[in-house]
Chains A and B, each alone.
Chain A
Amino acid sequence: EPEVTQTPSHQVTQMGQEVILRCVPISNHLYFYWYRQILGQKVEFLVSFYNNEISEKSEIFDDQFSVERPDGSNFTLKIRSTKLEDSAMYFCASRGEVEQFFGPGTRLTVL
């Protein structure tokens, strides 16, 4: 069964460093998403991506964040200068007709 994959599973970085989180969505899906979940809190929408551009972004998704689909398979989330409060699980999701399927997540720890 097709699934969303994400790498790395865990990323530790120093405050102020740049990180890139990678996702491979399900191959015939056209809509891609990033969500995050701070420990003990709800899953929060960050950004959606369709047709090679951002279709919607949340208030959380400020200038420090960017997304890209550099080739036909990968979908990346870049955080330019990480803050302590960026520590969270980051989930990529892709959507076919209705359902959104989530990847296993990347746990980002900012020290």
Chain B
Amino acid sequence: QKEVEQNSGPLSVPEGAIASLNCTYSDRGSQSFFWYRQYSGKSPELIMFIYSNGDKEDGRFTAQLNKASQYVSLLIRDSQPSDSATYLCAVRQQGGATNKLIFGTGTLLAVQP
């Protein structure tokens, strides 16, 4: 069973701090890695994706990928209360034309004002 694992949290950080969210995956053949934000009762909203080892930055967000360790993370700089949500890690697996996503259970982030 191909799995994506996340700590469910909650991860509590003060406003202005860096929030670090982590994800591990079991399928070594996974190709692309996505971070979604999901507010309670809402749909997943794409933040960013990464497919090469290293860091990728987009505004206050940085995704980090280490394929050897099968580990992907999301850093949120200058965290704001509006960042409080569940962050979903999703993995696209190798092979097939469908590019379906396998999701983790998500990490609940709480940014304290």
Chain A interface (Cβ within 8 Å of chain B)? 31, 33, 35, 41-45, 48, 50, 55-56, 89, 91, 95, 98-105
Q: List 29 A-B contacts (CB under 8 A).
A: A33-B98, A33-B100, A35-B101, A42-B104, A43-B44, A43-B90, A43-B101, A44-B103, A45-B101, A48-B98, A55-B97, A56-B100, A91-B43, A91-B44, A95-B99, A98-B49, A99-B34, A99-B46, A99-B49, A100-B34, A100-B46, A100-B99, A101-B46, A102-B44, A102-B45, A102-B46, A104-B42, A105-B42, A105-B43
Q: Indicate whether A31 sits within 8 Å of B98 (C-beta atoms), given known contacts A42-B105, A91-B43.
A: yes
> Given the known A-B contacts A98-B49, A104-B42, A104-B43, are A41 and B105 also in contact in the complex, defined by CB atoms under 8 Å?
yes
Give the top 7 A-B pairs by smallest Cβ distance, nearest first.
Answer: A48-B98, A56-B98, A43-B103, A102-B43, A45-B100, A42-B105, A55-B98
Q: Check B102 for interface membership: any CB of A closer than 8 A.
A: yes
Q: Is the CB of A31 within 8 A of B49?
A: no
Please report the C-alpha to C-alpha distance between residue A101 and residue B101 in the assembled complex, in whole angstroms: 11
Residues of A within 8 A of B42 (CB): 104-105
0 or 1 for each of B68-112: is its CB under 8 Å from A? (1 = yes)? 000000000000000000001010000011111111111000000
- Residues in chain A near residue B43, CB distance under 8 A: 89, 91, 102-105
Known pairs A41-B105, A42-B105; list 5 more (Cβ under 8 Å).
A31-B99, A42-B103, A98-B32, A98-B49, A100-B101
Q: Tell me, in angstroms, the Cα distance from A37 to B45 when the chains sit together.
A: 14
Question: Interface residues, chain B, CB within 8 Å of chain A?
Answer: 32, 34, 36, 42-46, 49, 88, 90, 96-106
Q: Compute how far the CA of A24 lies from the CA of B60 in the bound complex, rounded to whole angstroms.
A: 31
Provide the bound-state CA to CA distance between A101 and B47, in Å.
Answer: 10
Q: How far is the CA of A101 from the CA of B43 in the complex (A)?
A: 10
Chain A residues with CB under 8 Å of B101's CB are 35, 43, 45, 100
Rounded to whole Å, the gap between the CB of A45 and the closest CB of chain B is 5
A89 to B45, CA, bound (A): 15
Residues of B within 8 A of A56 (CB): 96, 98, 100
Q: How far is the CB of B70 from chain A (nearest CB, A)?
A: 18
